[in-house]
Amino acid sequence: MFDSFNKNLNKLYNFSGYIAAMFLILVAVFILIGISSRIFGFYIRGLAEYSGYCMASASFFALAYTFVEGGHIRITLFLEKLSGLKKKIVETWCLIIATFFSGYLAFYFIKMLIISYKFQERSEGADEILIWIPQTSVALGSIIFFISVFHQFILKIRENFNG
């Protein structure tokens, strides 16, 4: 059962990476449209804001995928000097801290999203979009990141007790 759950979570992280790639493509499209519109003498309001929202969304959706793939800056330089029980303890401690802070981050992004939705806050830009719309993808990305860090923590605990 755990293997099936593990496989499904890895699919979620890969899917999150694809969503991040989609948002990066949208950033490129918005920038190209902005450049083209200036060349042809017309202006489309809000393109800079939309590309910023897409960049934030891409960053947060990419967190989980990058973490699981080992692309984040880690303490491997320090861990290479350790071995045995010390290494297991330090790795587990680091994952505990990362789980706490990623959970804290996700909690406050969800809280910010709820407040923005409740008060129907709008952006300060030219288009005045409801700010909870782009905040939703940031909150979802941070939740998936928290799940991935907690998942890696559970895998490390299993490895320590089984190995």
pLDDT digits over 17-31, tens only?
Answer: 999 999 999 999 999
Kindly state the greatest CA–CA separation across the chain: 66
CB 126 within 8 A of CB 45: yes
The encoded tokens of residue 131 equal 């700010």
- Judged against a pLDDT cut of 70, whether residue 90 lies above it is answered with yes
The 10s digit of each residue's pLDDT in 103-137 is 999 999 999 999 999 999 988 877 788 999 989 99
Structurally, the chain folds into a number of domains equal to 1
Q: Give me the domain span that covers residue 151.
A: 2-162
Q: How far apart are CA 135 and CA 140, in angstroms?
A: 9
User: Residue 99 — pLDDT band, cuts 50, 70, 90?
Assistant: very high
Q: How far apart are CA 123 and CA 118, in angstroms?
A: 15
User: Residue 163 — pLDDT band, cuts 50, 70, 90?
Assistant: low
Q: Which of 55-64, 65-74, 105-114 has the lowest mean pLDDT?
A: 65-74
CB 56 within 8 A of CB 138: yes
Dihedral, 80, 69, 23, 99 alpha carbons, nearest 10 = -70
Mean pLDDT for the chain overall: 89
CB 62 within 8 A of CB 18: no
Looking at residue 87, its pLDDT comes to 80
- Who wins on pLDDT, 139 or 159? 139
Residues pairing with 5 in the sheet: none
Q: How far apart are CA 74 and CA 102, in angstroms?
A: 15
